[in-house]
Chain A
């Protein structure tokens, strides 16, 4: 199962596909895997990313300018899978591009590409009936977000619907780096532990090695997104190398879990 975490904390990395272009995204992801990323979230750019801060908004705009599509992201996933058998691959998307492709077709193509799961940012668990059926039928893992504002009964539903791991949102807000880890984060992970035995990955706002280490004390995995995307933005021409260095620095903090 590629969605199993072998390190503590495991590193889940997010990248906006097609920024600056799909060939570079492929190099970035392979370099990150080589450097120790355990799970890769392949971000599908969307015109109206309401849950994202400025960094991912800019990346999405760049990716859409040359017409990056969900179909292309799935093709990219298949290419990455050829080179990386044991890394978890998750499609990270807003709902509309998936609806437009069709839930059933999306799951079928994703499975064939070797994708392990999906996370739809703006699909709450109570609206997910059709999605969950299609995902289950194709043996794909749905991952849901849990928020600091989610009451206990929602956490329970989120945990029950999720496979692989649950994604805990560290604070109220959009994606993007923050100087400090919110107090909400620890509390939410603690509450999730009571609701589920699934591993918990914590994301939103984590960008530094110090924060990565801090989160590693209480969560099973850390999601790093905007910091990766910003590294891509700031290192034109040497994106893959720069992301590789960054991921290596974070990975060095984790310790291997015995199998």
Chain B
């Protein structure tokens, strides 16, 4: 991290540590999550999908039903309340698929902050609905046309803004990436997903699931649902990365398949890079998974063997989208469809007595254009 930002990171860490112990802060966050965002989200038994795949009993954690359409709002509300406490009035954010941008714009409208969202121009094109939503909410969306014009480049530009305006501005980072305290803080704000899911499955089935599957871009929804199961060693944790269109460097975002340890944007983790340490371009049909690095806690979970990470290709994710839509009437985001794609491979091999939970991290409205282009239904 550039030295100019270090004091702000230290300030943020102190503010967060204080807020964590402050009952009033926690109560206000909980209330907003309940009355504004719509928590708890349901854990839904997917009867027809279970029959169709013929193996494990499938439950879906419905983060797609949250206000703004994805899990991202959990973290935005938490950081938004922190911004209030720190007395800053300007918020910046990066966004890939636009879900974090929309959630940030929403919270800024709710709490009365000025909001600027950086977004790669390629992502603005493929997620134009979300660009309009952000603008409708009063945010300024700034297009970024460097590198691959996607999430990584949006983060670069957000960091440049932050380094310039750090005294008045909070960077509301949307994933478990970046410098300390972001990966820990963002994880904590998403832990509610796993906490709820654990209680819900115990209530519904009286036992823990055999496996949990979630997609991993930076890794916020996956770490959120994994975290409260970490000590339940028999629960398999499976993260699904973007396998893209091929295994060639530049054609995917599967950091654990082609990446090696490195530092990008303040995070030491697995990074897709060339032999000289230059960061590689990435590709995924899903803008939210299209990023060359992965949250450092996922790297640790992978190295320790506690979690397993697999890729799903663009084509598999698109096929999974159709399957979920037609068996359960749920159109998921293309990001979440990567998790469903892994479910399709894994569930039939599991016992009928076993349970698997898939985190449906977001809904698919924003992806309708891409689905239309790729699925040739009409």
Contact = CB atoms under 8 A, between A and B. Distances in A.
Contact of B278 (A97, A147, A172): A97
Contacts, number: 103
B156 A50 contact: yes
B250 to A, nearest CB: 12
Interface in A98-151: 98-101, 121-122, 124-125, 144-151
Interface in B178-194: none
Interface string B1-17: 11111111000000000
A114 B104 CA distance: 50
A100 B163 contact: no
B152 interface: yes
Contacts of A48: 147, 152, 156, 264-265, 279
A122 B266 contact: yes
A189 to B, nearest CB: 15
A147 B2 CA distance: 9
A235 interface: no
A172 B166 CA distance: 7
Contacts of B271: 96
Contacts of B152: 48
B264 A149 contact: no
A51 B163 contact: yes
Nearest to A46: B278
Nearest to B262: A96
Nearest to A147: B4
B3, B147, B159, B164, most chain A CB atoms within 10 A: B3
B2 A47 contact: no
Query: Is chain B's binding surface mostly helix, strand, loop or mixed?
Result: mixed
A64 B146 CA distance: 13
Given A154-B7, A173-B164, A174-B164, A97 B276 contact: yes
A174 B161 CA distance: 8
Contacts of A144: 3
B277 A101 contact: yes
Nearest to A148: B4
B156 A69 contact: no
Contacts of A95: 263
Contacts of B261: 99
9 contacts: A46-B277, A50-B156, A50-B159, A51-B160, A64-B278, A145-B3, A169-B4, A172-B4, A172-B163
Given A121-B2, A154-B6, 20 more contacts: A48-B152, A48-B265, A50-B156, A69-B276, A70-B276, A71-B276, A100-B276, A125-B3, A144-B3, A145-B2, A147-B4, A148-B4, A149-B4, A149-B167, A150-B4, A150-B6, A172-B164, A172-B166, A173-B164, A174-B160
Interface of A: 46-51, 53, 57, 61, 64, 67, 69-71, 95-101, 121-122, 124-125, 144-151, 154, 158, 169, 172-174
